Amino acid sequence: MDMQGRRISSADLHRVEEELGVCLPNQYREFLLESNGGHPRPNEFMSRLPRGNDRMQIRYFLSALSDTDARDLVWRYRVFCEENTSDLLPIADVADGSMICIGVARHNQGAVYFHDYYAGFAKPHPAQLGEQINYRLYDSFAAFISSFVSVLESEVSPLKIALAQDDVDGLSVLLDTGQVGLEDTNVAGHSLMEQAAIRNACGIMRMLFEAGVPIGRALELALKNAEFSPKHQQAVSLVKALIKERNCHR
């Protein structure tokens, strides 16, 4: 796996553990000493989620002693614990905005989990309905790393490419040829508008709005991404404007 963050020492990790108030699993500790986060290549892993999407993408692994709060282990753990269990430590961001966590309590030490970030903001909270937002993927960090797979260019969805590049013409072709439908959703249940909001694809969002696609949870998703990436304020501003415009025409 090709990735590299800021180099740290065992003494640095000991200080991080003291700030976290947890003992880092041994395999994950070795990973931090060797790589300390960063962008993985390849970046897809076998998710084994019950909802059917067998592959997911890692945006980046968090780092110890990062200069950027949103990518720092301690900062993210403190934010995470404000609304979630303290026995899971966020260690990576998934492309859809959710997180990969590792167990740091006696009962789940070293196990790797998928945290459904957006489900945690539903009202009422999924836990109150007996629904899961944390899914155990692997029993060890080593097993998780071994699940990463290389992705052939031909396996990359044309829709994902269009969204990533905010390619309005490209999406138009997919719609005109029936490869994509305006009412389509992805494996996470996100509509095209919501996927565009997650990707900060403002041109596509405007196009979908004019085609009558509902706004759905686009504002909520854009707001959450804007917490960690200022450029996503563009999507937030656009969705607010679209909501206002739609309300004026009612």
Tens of pLDDT, residues 77-116:
999 888 888 999 999 998 777 899 999 999 999 999 998 8
Residue closest to 241 by CA, chosen among 196, 191, 205, 192: 205
Clarify whether residues 28 and 101 are in a common domain.
Answer: yes
Q: Which of 149, 178, 212 is the last residue of a domain?
A: 149
Q: Is residue 1 in some structural domain?
A: no
Is 70 exceeded by the pLDDT of residue 134?
yes
Clarify whether residues 101 and 14 are in a common domain.
Answer: yes
Clarify whether residues 208 and 145 are in a common domain.
Answer: no
Q: Where are the beta strands (DSSP E) in 37-185?
A: 44-46, 55-61, 88-94, 99-103, 112-115, 134-138, 148-149
- Judge contact between 228 and 99, C-beta under 8 A: no
Strands 112-115 and 134-138: antiparallel
Q: Is residue 139 in some structural domain?
A: yes
Quick one: what percent of the chain has pLDDT higher than 70?
Answer: 82
Quick one: what percent of the chain has pLDDT higher than 90?
Answer: 41
Which pLDDT score, from 0 to 100, does residue 120 have?
A: 55
Q: Is residue 56 in some structural domain?
A: yes
Q: Which of 86, 114, 149 is the last residue of a domain?
A: 149
Clarify whether residues 136 and 193 are in a common domain.
Answer: no
End-to-end distance of the chain based on CA atoms, in angstroms?
A: 53
Looking at residue 239, which CATH number applies to its domain?
Answer: 1.25.40.20
Clarify whether residues 26 and 102 are in a common domain.
Answer: yes
Looking at residue 141, which CATH number applies to its domain?
Answer: 3.40.1580.10
Q: Which of 111, 131, 149 is the last residue of a domain?
A: 149
Element spanning 160, H or E: helix 158-164
Clarify whether residues 94 and 180 are in a common domain.
Answer: no
Q: Is residue 108 in some structural domain?
A: yes
Clarify whether residues 222 and 136 are in a common domain.
Answer: no
Domain that holds residue 178: 157-244
Clarify whether residues 22 and 139 are in a common domain.
Answer: yes
Clarify whether residues 15 and 100 are in a common domain.
Answer: yes
Clarify whether residues 51 and 120 are in a common domain.
Answer: yes
Q: Helix, strand, or coil here: 37? A: coil
Residues in the chain: 250
- Per-chain mean pLDDT for the chain: 83
pTM of the predicted protein model: 0.57
Which pLDDT score, from 0 to 100, does residue 129 have?
A: 42
pLDDT tens-digit profile of 197-234?
988 899 999 999 999 999 999 999 888 877 766 788 99
